[in-house]
Chains A and B, each alone.
Chain A
């Protein structure tokens, strides 16, 4: 893929967090959370970003959305270089939306579902529906598989899966072109998880949405990602087409992750034998 066809192009991204100030130990208070990461998300493509906790995958996501500022490196979206969140033109801020891991803490508990979904239109009147907003919200809820009865409920009255659908509806209300999902299905029960993954993959197919999907679950990656990027300790160790990467991982760390991941084991293992099959 040539850079010109990519929707999102992240080049040599570096992010540093300051350590807590310790007056008795001056200097050396920087942690490189992301140390030079480059990745691309194509149009209508789902890129999975994987890695263990602390590898910097969420930091990359937050940078892309503009919630934190990078120290150096470029984030280019549809040919335009993006600055920090607040400095981005409204149209670009709108075009990238995020779905967070914990739907309960990312939805305002005091607002009804109807208000949550419609709230973004106040900041982005350009995509607000011209007529009846309530029926527009209803159409969005229908799209994510929620019926209109949830409209006047609050997040506390919904299940985790329903809350996550509301988060997705809220993101879709702004007609984004890139959806950044940070462990968006990790907190959900498996049966509900499949529903949300199906929804995301339908949205990609029907709306031409691109998705940056952050997860630690390699099984989920294999189900929905077109390409995969593997991060470790702030660096990108490998990236490639999903099937190719799973079939022949090039980096030892990718191999290690794949080896450690569990599959449903229905073979006739001698059960007294320790779990060496996963080693």
Chain B
């Protein structure tokens, strides 16, 4: 599966390319306003009105950007499903959980009884205990973690080959977060589903993503296999990001701080968008946009001086 995508017009996303491998998870990491959610929306075809998108989004060998609306609608749910950060606002508050989970099947010709039965099965797969009874509950009767599980059950209904997860655990307590992440990994193992995980949390990424794409101001600054990338970043931004993550299991003090605030794609600095905050910046960085290039096998970096970054 290949998903090269390029934003256009007043490009929120600029020249962004990456791929999600079958049965694997690609993590899309970036700070607020880096364009990560926009990218997920482009993939599933839910960009806000007025947004235009050039490039290609390939699902297997089919370009979704040139596909018709009817085809895209068919793809949504069946091929690509999505879960969101805030399940409470994504669920219908006045409909029982089981009915919402079964809705996809009802729309595709199942009888109500069949859909209800299947919904209980999906909720069980998503780890909801006593699913038979809980299917009759409304969203407000569910805890935050249970709601996210219900969302996951809904996403699984169409048997998607790609699951988009936009900050799926950000709103949850740590203990619940760990359980949801484990569930996502277990589901991926049993169904060989691919995942595109959007998050700002490098800790979450390091536990679930096989590959990582680091976005800054709407551009890819680095991508590659997660562990290699975290162990030896090839872009100063990734390096600073990894250094600023506080550790729980080792004694640590405050990391060196990066000056300034994340750049917005709407006011992207000239040259390398990261150069105003970069400790390694030189003259060239302010004028010349660095191309994303392969700096080592499987490792891509958009830094003029990727080879000089200390480990």
Name A residues whose Cβ lies closer than 8 Å to a Cβ of B: 52-53, 159-162, 189-195, 197-198, 201, 216-220, 222-224, 243, 246, 256-258, 260-269, 271-272, 274-279
What is the distance, in angstroms, from A41's C-beta to the closest C-beta of chain B? 20
B32: chain A residues within 8 A (beta carbon): 160, 189
Which of these, A194, A198, A246, A278, contacts B178 with CB under 8 Å?
A: A278
Partner of B177, one of A192, A243, A260, A263: A260
The answer for the CA separation of A256 and B178 in the assembled complex, in Å, is: 11
Contact A275 B174 (CB under 8 A): no
B203 and A263 contacting across the interface, CB-CB below 8 Å: yes
Interface-forming stretch among B10-18, B71-79, B181-189? B181-189
Which residues of the partner chain A approach B230 to less than 8 Å between Cβ atoms? 264, 266
B31 contact from A191, A194, A257, A278, Cβ within 8 A: A191
How far is A271 from B208 in the complex, measured between Cα atoms in Å?
8
Q: How far is the CA of A160 from the CA of B260 in the complex (A)?
A: 12
Residue B22, interface by CB 8 Å: no
Binds A, one of B99-107, B125-133, B251-259: B251-259
B241 touches A191 (CB 8 A): yes
Distance in Å from the Cβ of A230 to the closest Cβ of chain B? Answer: 12
Interface residues on B, range: 35 or more
Q: Which B residues lie within 8 Å of A256 (CB)? A: 175
CB distance from A72 to the nearest CB of B (A): 28
Give the contacting residue for A264; candidates B182, B245, B253, B254; CB below 8 A: B245
Known: A189-B200, A191-B244, A278-B178. 5 other contacts (CB 8 A): A161-B261, A190-B245, A223-B254, A264-B202, A268-B227
Partner pick for A278 among B181, B244, B259, CB 8 A cutoff: B181
Contacts A219-B246, A222-B246, A263-B249 known; A275 to B175 CB distance under 8 Å? no
Compute how far the CA of A220 lies from the CA of B182 in the bound complex, rounded to whole angstroms. 23
Given known pairs A194-B257, A194-B258, A264-B206, the reply for A222 and B174 (CB within 8 Å) is: no
The residues of B that contact A194 with a CB separation of less than 8 Å are: 244, 254-255, 257-258
Which residues of chain B (153-199) have a CB below 8 Å from chain A?
173-175, 177-178, 181-182, 185-186, 189
B282 CB within 8 Å of chain A: no
Q: Which residues of B contact A189 (CB under 8 A)?
A: 31-32, 200, 261-262
Please determine whether B246 and A223 come into contact, CB atoms closer than 8 angstroms.
yes
Q: How far is the CA of A277 from the CA of B231 in the complex (A)?
A: 18
Q: Which residue of B lies closest to A253 (CB)?
A: B175
* Chain A residues, Cβ within 8 Å of B261: 159, 161-162, 189, 191-192
27 pairs of residues in contact across A and B, judged by CB atoms under 8 Å:
A52-B173, A52-B174, A189-B31, A189-B32, A194-B244, A194-B254, A195-B258, A197-B254, A216-B174, A218-B174, A218-B248, A219-B203, A219-B247, A219-B248, A219-B252, A223-B252, A262-B178, A262-B248, A264-B230, A265-B206, A266-B206, A272-B189, A274-B189, A275-B178, A275-B182, A278-B181, A279-B182
